[in-house]
């Protein structure tokens, strides 16, 4: 008489449906970071869009903050 064979069950993996993040799990921190960054920028430095691009102004501001 032979022993019954059983199929081995694979252990549960963490990469299933519960391992995926919803879209807002990334969008909310990005939105919060953007809002806080906008708050720390000096509003008196605001100027018309016809001037320098925003990214140039942002890099200059970061350089000023790190140079201190």
φ/ψ of 55, rounded to 5, equals -65, -35
- pLDDT, tens digit, 9 for 90 and up, residues 12-30: 555 555 678 898 899 999 9
pLDDT at 27: 92
Cβ partners under 8 Å of residue 61, min gap 6: 41
- Dist. CA 60–CA 10, nearest whole Å: 54
Quick check: pTM over 0.85?
no
């Amino acid at each position: 008489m032979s022993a019954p064979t059983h199929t081995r069950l694979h252990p549960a993996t963490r990469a299933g449906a519960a391992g995926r993040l919803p879209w807002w799990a990334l969008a909310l921190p990005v939105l919060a970071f953007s809002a806080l960054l906008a708050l720390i920028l000096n509003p008196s430095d605001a100027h018309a869009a016809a001037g320098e691009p925003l990214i140039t102004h942002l890099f200059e501001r970061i350089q000023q903050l790190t140079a201190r």
